[in-house]
Copies of this chain bind each other. A is one copy, B any other.
Amino acid sequence: MSDVKVVTAAMLVIGDEILSGRTKDKNIGFVADYLTGLGIDLKEVRIVADEEADIVEAVNSLRTRYTYIFTSGGIGPTHDDITADSVSVAFGVPCIQHPEAVAILEEHYASTNLELTKSRMRMTRTPQGADLIHNSVSKAPGFRIENVHVMAGVPKIMQAMMDSIAPTLESGTKMLSRTIDCPFGEGAISGPLGEIQDNHSDTLIGSYPRYESGKYSTQIVVRGRSADLVDAAAVAINNMLDGI
């Protein structure tokens, strides 16, 4: 297992609307799937309000701990879009109008009947030293500063931004996964399953109860970075289930 490379990430969702329940987040599940596909381990997610102190604290606490940070939300043109300012504060750099972002918006608005107002210019702001993150859906860019990737909250735009970031990310050894459907509740298998976990300590064995129509069943998931080790644990689990 000496060739295993582990790359980690955290996600920070920024927005009062998620915490009030008004908007149901769709970005966490997408980013979780996306990073798993790239071989990057999502280790933590936080959701915070549109409040500078909360955003600064979360960014600074996460960015030193994980390889990459991905944020969603708060980069639009309105007064409650304070992610660029807050990330600048977190890094201790000025929040500037990024020249490339200004050029992009100038070109875009010249081709429409809309004016590039002072408010729309808010969407050109990034921390000094940031690179832009482009997206194929809308013109207003996100940005990256060091290991922090700042993306839009609108799912379609966030997803396009992930596509544009993906080629720049270092990938880790992919976590492989096997799912085994178990017709029994967790209580029926937990003893032997714990023993199998002990005997296959290079894999992570999770067990996920379902409760439908008054009946429990379980999905058992084996994860690991070696196909052989994952298969060996799966065989042990299937043998155990056959014996019940």
Point out residues on A near B: beta carbons under 8 Å: 13, 16-25, 28-29, 32-36, 41-50, 54, 76-80, 114, 117-120, 122-123, 137-138, 154, 156-157, 175, 177, 179, 186-191, 193-194, 197-198, 204-211, 221, 223
Contacts and interface: CB of A to CB of B under 8 A. Distances in A.
Contacts of A117: 187, 190-191
Contacts of A118: 191
A77 B209 CA distance: 10
B193 A78 contact: yes
B29 A25 contact: yes
A47 B29 CA distance: 12
A18 B23 CA distance: 19
B211 A137 contact: yes
27 contacts: A16-B204, A16-B223, A18-B28, A19-B45, A20-B177, A20-B223, A22-B177, A22-B179, A28-B47, A43-B48, A44-B47, A45-B46, A46-B46, A46-B47, A50-B206, A76-B190, A76-B209, A79-B205, A80-B197, A80-B205, A114-B187, A117-B187, A119-B194, A120-B187, A138-B211, A154-B209, A154-B211
Contacts of A41: 19
B45 A47 contact: yes
Nearest to A120: B187
Given A80-B206, A197-B79, A32 B45 contact: no
